[in-house]
Amino acid sequence: MAMPPGIRKATLTAHVASSVGWLGWVAVFLVPAVVGLNGDDPQRVRGSYLAMEVTGWYVIVPLAFASLLTGFVQSLGTTWGLFRHYWLLAKLALTALATFLLLLHMQVADQVADAAARTNLTGTDLGGMRGQLVFDAAAALVVLLTTTALSVFKPRGITRYRWRVQHGQRAERAGGASAMDTAAPVQT
């Protein structure tokens, strides 16, 4: 089912904006994560973790869900389809996985922000969680850049579902043409 052009362009715009926004805000998130992990100034470290929590919940999480939803709508309402191309399935799977992992990641961000709000964090306090925030943000950037590349390059390869549909349509056309060709001429 194809969407009307105006709706298709609006959902595509929403999808591109939310996806690029998600990517950009994850890059921004990485900076305070590194500052918090390596910073010597307790106020700067505290501010970094508090800002990460707020931007995570109020900017990054909504952008992730918007990207997932608008991508799903785009795939259902355009000729690309949801189950037709491997690149699209890979992009959808990566986006869904990244959104799920983001929610887990935000639990760590909450714990570190709560600790930062209560006390000055030293270099060794919550070191594993603070390092995880840096690693998770960097890994998310790689995943989001991969989904962006899939969108741009659209590698060849159709799914088995699409292959069956295409070959079924060809068989129907071929069957219809051969039946017409072999039919006895009508005598009048």
DSSP-assigned states of every residue in 16-42: HHHHHHHHHHHHHHHHHHHHHHH---H
Q: Give the pLDDT confidence of 125-168 residue by residue, as tens digits.
A: 788 999 999 999 999 999 999 999 999 998 888 777 666 766 67
> Which residues are paired to 85 by β-bridges?
158
Residue scoring higher pLDDT (1 or 94): 94
- Cα–Cα dist 131/126, whole Å: 9
Residue scoring higher pLDDT (7 or 176): 7
Average pLDDT over residues 72-87: 84
Query: Which residue in 49, 28, 27 sits closest to 38, CA to CA?
Result: 49
Instruction: Report helix, strand or coil for 158.
Output: strand
| Minimum mean pLDDT range among 30-34, 157-161, 168-172 | 168-172
Average pLDDT over residues 21-47: 94
pLDDT of 79 strictly over 80: no
Q: How many CA atoms lie within 13 A of 109 on its CB side?
A: 29
Residue-level pLDDT at 86: 87
Q: How many beta carbons lie within 10 A of that of residue 115, not counting itself?
A: 17
* Cβ neighbours of residue 47 closer than 8 Å, sequence gap 6 or more: 32
CA–centroid distance for 31 within its chain: 21
C-alpha separations of 30 from 68, 75, 96, 140, 147 in Å: 21, 30, 21, 10, 19
Percent of the chain with pLDDT over 90: 65
Are 99 and 64 a contacting pair, CB within 8 Å?
yes
Q: Give the pLDDT confidence of 39-71 residue by residue, as tens digits.
A: 889 999 999 999 999 999 999 999 999 999 999
Average pLDDT over residues 30-35: 96
